[in-house]
Structure 1
Amino acid sequence: MNTRKRSGLWLAGPTRFAGLPQARAQMYLAVLVLLLACLAVMGPPALPSLATRVGDQTDMTLYHAVIDRVRHGEPYYTVVAELHRAGGYPLKPFFTVRLPTLAMVQAMLPHLVVRMMLWLLCLGTAAAWIIRVRRIAPRWPPLALTGATLIAAMVVNVQPGLDVFHETWAGPLIALSLALRRPGQWTASVALGLSAMLLRETALLYVAIMAAAALIDGQRREAAAWIAAILIFGIALAAHAQAVARILEPLDAPSNGWFGFLGLGFFLRLASLSTALTLAWPWLASAILVVSALGWTAWRDPTASRAVATIGGYAVLIAVCARSDHVYWVLMVTPLLLLGLVFAVDGLRDLIVAAMDTRRITVTRIIR
């Protein structure tokens, strides 16, 4: 077994790939090269740009209309029922209607304040991750790359008009929650996770992953806090379901269902279009995302394991459940997608070193 472990290029310690057996390291490299080759040859499925999707969709108009009418004193659920019926939107089951949290907050505040709040959330998320990375990679190149990847990942979040979409807020909240979580220091992380759930129900997947990870790590108090957040969200969701039930009429349209089975290629393409990678060739954008995922798996830290589970969970959710018009689901994890590039530098180095290690153990027999 190869036990060689070199000091990191950027990171203070070795990655998970340092000291891997040569055969296993070669297998990992072969899989990575094969995957990148497949992406280069096949490419991800073609989709229109996110800006085009915004122009084609009426969701933005719907959300703006809801906020405007609530701002003028109309009840949220009455407004939603009327606008959903007028626009042909489904009202069944209840989760086709968004939780009122974001609309109520935006109705109470001037639009400029809302925009500033979103900018501050994104900047705060970037600052939290830069501080987190600085503890393990204090030199300027990894810190500069950290900032660049976060800007590239959240550039869509701050585009004008997208502040009415719930995923635009929930994604940075999830990333900030993960950045602030430490063993024994999880209060702020749990609170942010709960906030994300109250904005967008699909944030439940992230909170469930964090609760499971805390249980696996033996952090019982932390796990209890995450579970308590899920219970609070469950109460809010039950109240939401009852409110929607009161506005239903027999002829209200049902949902077409969530199961699109569009595959992981659909997730990769959405991820590319929802970040600055939309400026790159599709195969190159997908390759960068794969290398970033490799970087997350390389970082030897419990946060990395949680990030991998979160990204993987939403990738599977989108690949299986999303339809072609669910382009905004990916914004739940875009702030995390490119950050793995910071850890990929040392990870690739350690993987290549382990794969190329040709040392042999020589046994010398001494006869006395």
Structure 2
Amino acid sequence: MTRSPLWLALPSRFAALSRTQARIVLSVLAALLLASLTVLGVPHPAPDASGAGGDRQTDVALYEGIVAAVTHGQDYYRAAADALRAGSYPLRPFLTFRLPGLAVVQAALPPAATLALLYALAAVTGFVWYRRLAEALPGLAARLFALFLLAAGMLAFVQPALIAFHEIWAGLLVALSLALRRPGKWVEAAAIALIAMLVRETAALYVVIMCALAFVEGQRREAIGWGAALGVFAVVLAAHAVAVQGVTGALDAASPGWTGMHGFGLFVRAMTLATGLQLLPAAAAALLVALTLFGWASWRNSLALRAAAIFCAYAVVISLFARLDTFYWGLLIAPAFLAGLAFVPDGLRDLAARALDRRRVRVQRIEQ
């Protein structure tokens, strides 16, 4: 007999598992919780010659300097190259240069207008996500908890000091795109995702996942739409590479590369520092990151499936390729990430019930 959900409108994904399947999932969850604690052994980045090793505010100052130069009429690529050299940053490969879109827009707008635009984007993103979560959480307490989790996930995204940081804008755009996508309704989501890629190229992983899931589900038109967004992005990225080549040379410093191989612990740190979890002790925050991933896997919904796939994909990329000083990649998925904790109570209750289920089918023969 299926129990009534605690918070969700419908039973969790784990309510229909067999006892063996539930025990396997419990083992995976235990392993995930243990893996999250590896963050305690991940070293903190040491400042390098530029002072940029672990200080993201230094990078913000870099981007602000580029915006100021473009505001005064300097060409973006020349301004970016000069600023990177002055700060002893690498200029090769071309991906060390951010795409010019955000800086050009910021240079064209008064600072107050740019800040208002950021707040408006954050407000719209939060509202759309709350509406999606409210569909699954009928109770007032559950909805208030989900709203609290959204606020905790978006703390960094409303800080005026980070307005020039590309991940702030791209993260909100990715979150808004994901929340707007529904079965048969994807055009707006794909368009917003394209903008996110043009702000920060690492948002392309999100689009790849969305395209792949649409293809697997047989949504051919949607898959083509996401693919078209990737095609436009590829053209822009190629033009960007050519432009960067025009302002750099063989003597310019090269990036140390992106083969950090710091493991799942670095992903945990990235999500901790990108959200309100940074206010908690490291071990507690780590366990909550693992439970958040479990929560997204618990909600039986196409939105949850996509969210879980996207978060896991970024977890793999950060674990394998991020350096200690590029933990800020986690900002790309931070705005809605913690909302997964709202699905944990139902997921854990259903999983435990199925794993401990000892009911047997009895066959009784009645002779007349």
TM-score class, shorter: over 0.9
- The CA distance in 2 between the partners of 1:265 and 1:185, in whole Å, is 36
Does residue 205 (structure 1) correspond to residue 205 (structure 2)? The answer is yes
Paired residues of 1:263 and 1:320 also in contact (CA < 8 A): yes
- The CA distance in 2 between the partners of 1:54 and 1:266, in whole Å, is 13
Partner of 1:306: 306
Paired residues of 1:44 and 1:269 also in contact (CA < 8 A): no
Candidates 30, 37, 40, aligned match of 1:43: 40
Distance 1:255 1:33, change over 3 A: closer
Does residue 362 (structure 1) correspond to residue 359 (structure 2)? The answer is no
Deviation of 1:58 (Å): 2.5
User: Could you say what secondary structure the match of 2:163 adopts?
Assistant: helix
Listed as ranges, the gaps of 5+ residues in structure 1 are none
Paired residue total: 363
Partner of 1:19: 16
Structural mapping, 1:130-149, within 5 Å: 130-149=130-149
TM-score (ref. length: structure 1): 0.93
Letter in 2 for 1:13: L
Deviation of 1:39 (Å): 5.0
Does residue 159 (structure 1) correspond to residue 152 (structure 2)? The answer is no
Deviation of 1:34 (Å): 5.0
Paired residues of 2:38 and 2:264 also in contact (CA < 8 A): no
Deviation of 1:110 (Å): 1.2
Paired residues of 1:129 and 1:146 also in contact (CA < 8 A): no
Paired residues of 2:39 and 2:265 also in contact (CA < 8 A): no
Q: Deviations over 1:311-339 (max 9, x none)?
A: 01111111111111113111001113211
Listed as ranges, the gaps of 5+ residues in structure 2 are 46-51
Structural mapping, 1:225-304, within 5 Å: 225-304=225-304
- The CA distance in 1 between the partners of 2:158 and 2:329, in whole Å, is 16
Structural mapping, 1:70-81, within 5 Å: 70-81=70-81
Deviation of 1:31 (Å): 3.7
Structural mapping, 1:68-107, within 5 Å: 68-107=68-107
Partner of 1:340: 340
Distance 1:348 1:280, change over 3 A: same
User: Could you say what secondary structure the match of 2:305 adopts?
Assistant: helix
* C-alpha RMSD over aligned residues: 2.0
Residue range with higher mean Cα deviation, 38-47 or 175-184: 38-47
TM-score (ref. length: structure 2): 0.93
**Runs of 4+, deviation exceeding 4 Å:** 37-42, 52-57
Paired residues of 2:295 and 2:341 also in contact (CA < 8 A): yes
Paired residues of 1:54 and 1:60 also in contact (CA < 8 A): no
The percentage of counterpart residues that share the same residue type is 45
Paired residues of 1:173 and 1:196 also in contact (CA < 8 A): yes
Distance 1:290 1:121, change over 3 A: same
